[in-house]
Structure 1
Amino acid sequence: MGNSSSMLTQYDIEEVQKYCEDTFTQQEIVSLYSRFCQLDRKNCGFIPSDEFLSIPEFSLNPLSHSLLNMLDGLNFKEFVAFLSVFSPRATMQHKIEFIFKVYDTDCNGKVTFRDILRVLKDMTGQFMPEKQMEEILTQVLEEAGYQKDSVLVLSDFMKILGDSDLKMEVDFHVD
């Protein structure tokens, strides 16, 4: 797949659509390709993680530094796959897997109390004292059947969040 929107073939579009499990329409993929090419300033076929910080909506996100760990050097297919979790057509499992990766900052397949607390600190900044965050998190974990010293894996996140109504959607404008 080239670096200009005219180089995106029907085959490429269908391949990306299949790779992302039809979370985007063909028109949305073409639009995303155009945006990808804008972000690929060096025309090298991938976007380095630091380029994402040039996107105002991304750089202002309190989790941007956690997300950067997931974004280093994305090609177009990976770019669309990363964004697919924010599509209204993404499955609940896909969304929960993404959330788990955000909390699993050391990528060991496990999330600890400290991991969750670190993300909460990033999200709340100085608006909530750490002791209060710890108390709330302890209560939430206990209500879900876990202890402060529990180590959570993906299946635990599925159990905890599986019945929730996660709203992780972005409006992808089609050019």
Structure 2
Amino acid sequence: MGARGSHSAVPPDADSIRRETGFSQASLLRLYHRFQALDRDNKGYLSRMDLQQIGALAVNPLGDRIIESFFPDGNHQVDFAGFARVLAHFRPVDEEDPGMQDPKQPEPLNSRMNKLRFAFQLYDLDRDGKISRNEMLQVLRLMVGVQVTEEQLESIADRTVQEADIDGDGAVSFMEFTKSLEKMNIEQKMSIRILK
């Protein structure tokens, strides 16, 4: 990679990252500057500790789960392309987004289905493709903290899994998760304006 005396102005592989993520050139550049600011030691990648510097994640009850999503398969570092790829799930849906309508193109990372996949994996702690009652309970504990009794949390977890569990196996599959959220505006709820 070579030493970087100062931060580079353009991300490596910018064109391919832009095509994959759907970010505009200006948004990608802002993200790259943010990536470089988080990479205080100029390593060229971010660690979990680097991402913990993001204030919004530090105060988010699911912050640790979101940070974990940057490191699939037990990796310990994320490069800029991986950083942009995860954040692309939160890119607002643009109805007039030209290149994203071509059926030969892969589904955009910010599509409803990909946003739902991202949300699902925040709950599926053991990555077995199902959200168990115990996983639901763990995530609820993170989200509500001490504001609710353990008995109330268990009741909420039981009811949530029961309502979504169509096949009666005691867990929520991705398709059941999708069905349970069909009336929710995921496109809006899982959208953030990147560094505006």
Q: TM-score range, shorter-chain basis?
A: 0.7 to 0.9
Tell me if 1:122 matches 2:142. yes
**In the TM superposition, what are the counterparts of 1:125-140 in structure 2 within 5 Å?**
125-140=145-160
Going from structure 1 to structure 2, the CA distance change for 1:147 and 1:124 (only over 3 Å counts) comes to: farther
Q: Which residue of 2 aligns with 1:171?
A: 193
Q: Which residue of 2 aligns with 1:44?
A: 43
Q: Which residue of 2 aligns with 1:155?
A: 175
Distance (whole Å) between structure 1 residues aligned to residue 160 and residue 70 of structure 2: 30
Task: Kindly provide the CA deviation profile for residues 89-141 of structure 1, in whole angstroms up to 9, marking residues without a partner as x.
Answer: 22111111111110111222221011011001001000011211222232333
Q: Calculate the aligned-residue CA RMSD, in Å.
A: 2.3
SS in structure 2 at match of 1:111: strand
Which of 82, 87, 91 is equivalent to 1:87?
91
Distance (whole Å) between structure 1 residues aligned to residue 195 and residue 34 of structure 2: 11
Q: Percent identity, please.
A: 29
Structure 1 residue runs without a partner (length 5+): none
Partners of 1:62 and 1:123 within 8 A in 2: yes
**Residue identity matched to 1:150:** G
Q: Which residue of 2 aligns with 1:60?
A: 59
Tell me if 1:8 matches 2:30. no
TM superposition score normalised by structure 1 = 0.85
Distance (whole Å) between structure 1 residues aligned to residue 56 and residue 119 of structure 2: 18
**Residue identity matched to 1:131:** E
Partners of 2:164 and 2:177 within 8 A in 1: no
Q: Which residue of 1 aligns with 2:102?
A: none
Distance (whole Å) between structure 2 residues aligned to residue 122 and residue 149 of structure 1: 25
SS in structure 2 at match of 1:107: coil
Distance (whole Å) between structure 1 residues aligned to residue 164 and residue 195 of structure 2: 38
Distance apart, 1:88 and its partner CA:
0.7
Q: Which residue of 1 aligns with 2:69?
A: 70
Distance apart, 1:149 and its partner CA:
5.8
